[in-house]
């Protein structure tokens, strides 16, 4: 997901390019403005943390771009593309390392496990909204 800061700063195209340039495939995408209920479901694992209310306030403040991304080892690869939660600890070359400064405005969210990805995808997409297709050139991305 490209968070409100990434959308508001005009970084949607740059984030998408990095995902696609790596060889991952976007099979669902939409711009949404999360309401408080959806935001609380999305960040439920943080509900007892002191930053929860500010997180909800931020994620509901402006539109986000939700994406469903597919590919071999997609969760691990995407996490490496985006960098550490704290942009100051993210290497240059990662999305957060290149575009972020503060933890609270770190441009993107990515699921940290397959289980989280499944749960989060169900929050943002219906099965009909996920498109199956073969990318041209896939044979040059994956070993057979």
Q: Where along the chain do its domains lie?
A: 4-32+66-121
Angstrom distance (rounded) from CA 136 to CA 72 = 16
DSSP 3-state of 137:
coil
Fold observed for domain 4-32+66-121: Alpha-Beta Plaits (3.30.70)
Catalytic residues: 109
Question: Which whole number is the average pLDDT over 90-119?
Answer: 96
Query: Which tens digits make up the pLDDT trace of 34-89?
Result: 999 999 999 999 999 999 999 999 999 999 999 999 999 999 999 999 999 999 99
Enter the pTM of the model.
0.94
Q: Going by C-beta distance under 8 Å and a sequence separation of 6 or more, which residues neighbour residue 75?
A: 110, 111, 112, 113, 114, 117
Do residues 59 and 4 touch, judged by C-beta distance below 8 A? yes
Angstrom distance (rounded) from CA 67 to CA 16 = 9
């Amino acid at each position: 997901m490209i968070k409100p800061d990434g959308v508001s700063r005009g970084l949607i195209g740059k984030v998408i390019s990095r995902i696609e340039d790596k060889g991952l495939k976007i099979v669902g995408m939409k711009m949404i403005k999360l309401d408080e209920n959806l935001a609380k479901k999305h960040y439920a694992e943080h509900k007892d943390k002191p930053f929860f209310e500010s997180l909800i306030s931020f994620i509901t403040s402006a539109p986000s771009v939700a994406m469903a991304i597919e590919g071999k080892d997609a969760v691990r690869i995407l996490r490496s593309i985006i960098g550490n939660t704290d942009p100051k600890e993210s290497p240059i070359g990662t999305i957060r390392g290149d575009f972020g400064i503060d933890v609270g405005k770190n441009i993107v969210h990515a699921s940290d496990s397959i289980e989280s990805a499944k749960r989060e995808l169900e929050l943002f997409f219906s099965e009909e909204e996920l498109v199956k297709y073969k990318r041209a050139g896939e044979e040059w991305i994956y070993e057979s």
